[in-house]
Structure 1
Amino acid sequence: MICDGNVDQQVKAGGEDIEVVNTFNFLESLIVEEGGSSQEIKRWLAMARTSAIAITDIWKDRGISRTTKMNIMDALVFPIATYGSETWAIGRADRSRIQALEQWCWRKMLRISWKEHKTNIFVRSQIGDHTSLC
């Protein structure tokens, strides 16, 4: 990948041309030509959403306490959402996406449907004093 350079320039290593790409994955981080973090953030949030869906049986189980479910969310879902966040440049839209995922996860865990018209404040009151992702 060539950042801020002449894209017509060929890069050679050992006498062979190296392919020029727009994005590549390096140590589980998506590096993009534009240099932003939005694609990376969207990718990790999608993986976190998938993991929350994968354990739907836990969210539905009435024998598991809310505290335990919150601990499961903190241990299995949110670390995926925030993996590599130390290096992200978070804009307003990205922050909104992260908050939306967090609210979606809590609603999924609490089994609160969007059709119930419960506010995010109500959902937060059900969770209690819990640290937000951003």
Structure 2
Amino acid sequence: MKTILTNKHISIETRKRALQCYIEPVLMYGCEAWTISKQIQNKLEATEMWFLRRMLRIPWTTKKTNKRVLNEANKRRSLVRTIRKRQATFLGHVIRRGKLEHLVTTGKFEGKRSR
């Protein structure tokens, strides 16, 4: 007898892995060059929570706190932390390169200024 898997049969761990593999890279494309303000950070965190609520099938009308949703998913907020880590890694590459980007980020130019 064949068993057909529906969305009900897919575990939360599989959904989290799919989110991490397919959705987050698209969402974070080019994030190394972003300037993250408080407003953008809040939107990123809201997006992350929206993904989790969709995975757990929690309607937006249900009054569940973000903490409860995170506990239910057995997950911590990681999107902004991952973006910051990627930005720091990218900055390390730029500084080690020693070209124009290095000069711009450090502000160290050699030579004398003309009159």
Question: Normalising TM by the smaller chain, what interval?
Answer: 0.5 to 0.7
Identity rate, percent: 32
Using the TM superposition, give the Cα deviation of residue 130 of structure 1 relative to its aligned residue in structure 2, in angstroms: 3.7
Higher relative contact order by CA 8 Å / sep ≥ 6: 1 or 2?
2
Q: Across the two proteins, how many residue pairs are aligned to each other?
A: 76
- Which runs of 5 or more structure 1 residues have no equivalent in the other structure? 1-57
1:110 to 41, 50, 56: 56
Code of the aligned partner of 2:11: S
> Is residue 2:71 matched to residue 1:128?
no
Q: Secondary structure at the match of 1:114?
A: coil
Task: After the TM superposition, list the runs of 4 or more consecutive aligned residues in structure 1 that deviate by more than 2 angstroms.
Answer: none
Taking structure 2 as the reference length, what is the TM-score of the superposition?
0.61
- Which runs of 5 or more structure 2 residues have no equivalent in the other structure? 81-115
The structure in which a higher percent of residues are helix is 2
Q: Counterparts of 2:48 and 2:62 in 1: how far apart (Å)?
A: 18
Which structure has the larger Rg over C-alpha atoms? Answer: 2
Using the TM superposition, give the Cα deviation of residue 131 of structure 1 relative to its aligned residue in structure 2, in angstroms: 4.9
The structure in which a higher percent of residues are strand is 1
